[in-house]
Amino acid sequence: MKRLFLPLILVLTATCTFAQNYRSEFGIQTDNDSYLGQGNDRYYTDGLYFYFNHALDVNGSSTLQNKVLGFELGQKIFNPQNGAIPSAAYVDRPFAGYLYAGASMNYLYKNESNLKFGAQMAVVGPASGGETAQNWVHDNFGFYHTAGWQYQIKNDVELNLSAEYNKLLGRTDGVDISFESYGNLGTGITGAGAGVLLRLGMFNQLFNSASTQSSVTASTTQPTNKHEFFLYYKPMANFVGYDATIQGGLFNKHDDPNSLEITGNPERFVLSNQIGVTYSTSRWLFDAAAIIHSKDTKEMVHSDAWGSVTVYYKFN
């Protein structure tokens, strides 16, 4: 999938010359395997996400430093080893689209830990628009014609809940390391993961940083640094309990001889490594990352890798 989306505009010169905190931000994230220049079009091939975050008052809390309400809308597209397979035998990871809307509340504490809770409503299958989106881009921008979507995961509606906990472990000049963890529970996605986040450069405390989606704040207290500019590395170990983009809907029947749906068998333990760079000003936030992911299914021929680019604009 080669979605032509250019979110990075020449805005680095638009930084503010005075210090000011902003309470709201709007963001766009685009993921694609083509960003790594590998010439691949497989597995998690494309994602497009829209975010809105708004900082809430903490009302003089003795423990909370920041609180952020978030909303998001996104679409993920998954292929087998190629977006144009000659037969069902090549489906080593199911064709699937995943469309969702969600909300979250992020509690950020003065001891540089945070708890983030979220909920999502989603649809997997043809109703998610994955096939439509991929075919439209390929057919209108001169890429190869996709083939094989008749085998995609069937329609199903999902309700998913999530929780995230992060905690600073240690810091010295220009370097810090944090514990990272999450858990998902739902009819579409169930699993958990843990790892660490290593940052090198100029960054803010975790209650007011791009690293924890908390660069907006209702506080008048200025962050440690007006700008953030740091490299980061995040290895994670993930346990997969259920994944509807691989196994299909939890309550759907998958043994219908008249159905073309092809599901897969998930790997229960998946390793991921993310390396990236973040730059933020008083108004803008930019992030670019490469993610390497071990095989999602027992049938997959290759591991997975993709690039991610994110832009946020902050305002009151």
Average pLDDT over residues 130-146: 90
Which residues lie closer than 8 Å to 255 by C-beta, 6 or more apart? Answer: none
Average pLDDT, the chain: 93
Cα-Cα-Cα-Cα dihedral sign, residues 238, 239, 243, 245: positive
Percentage of the chain beyond pLDDT 90 is 85
- The CA distance from 261 to 91, in Å, is 11
**Mapping DSSP to helix (H, G, I), strand (E, B) and coil, where does residue 271 land?**
strand
Helices (H) and strands (E) in the chain, counts: 2, 12
Q: Report which of 164, 166, 157, 162 is spatially closest to residue 185, judged by C-alpha positions.
A: 162
Average pLDDT over residues 265-269: 98
Q: What is the pLDDT of residues 271-297, one digit of tens each?
A: 999 999 999 999 999 999 999 999 999
- The CA distance from 201 to 306, in Å, is 24
**Mapping DSSP to helix (H, G, I), strand (E, B) and coil, where does residue 139 land?**
helix
The pair of structure tokens assigned to 84 is 């144009």
CB of 129 within 8 A of CB of 97?
Answer: yes
Q: What is the pLDDT of residues 46-67, one digit of tens each?
A: 999 999 999 999 988 999 999 9
CB of 193 within 8 A of CB of 150?
Answer: no
Q: What is the pLDDT of residues 157-198, one digit of tens each?
A: 999 999 999 999 999 999 999 999 999 999 999 999 999 999
Query: Using CB atoms within 10 A of its CB, is residue 59 exposed (0-12), middle (13-18) or buried (19+)?
Result: exposed
Q: Exposure pattern of 212-228 as b/e (b: 16+ CB <10 Å)?
A: bbbbbbbeeeebebbeb
Under CATH, what is the fold of the domain 22-315? Lipocalin (2.40.128)
Query: What's the pTM?
Result: 0.92
Q: Assess whether pLDDT exceeds 50 at residue 87.
A: yes
- The CA distance from 203 to 173, in Å, is 10
Average pLDDT over residues 123-132: 97
- What is the predicted pLDDT for the residue at 257? 85
- What is the predicted pLDDT for the residue at 276? 98
Q: What is the DSSP letter of 34?
A: G
Q: 253: pLDDT confidence band, cut at 50, 70 and 90?
A: confident
Bridge partners (DSSP) of residue 73 are: 50, 101
Segments making up each domain of the chain, as ranges: 22-315
- What is the predicted pLDDT for the residue at 12? 41
- What is the predicted pLDDT for the residue at 3? 54
- What is the predicted pLDDT for the residue at 144? 87
- What is the predicted pLDDT for the residue at 19? 60
Q: 137: pLDDT confidence band, cut at 50, 70 and 90?
A: confident
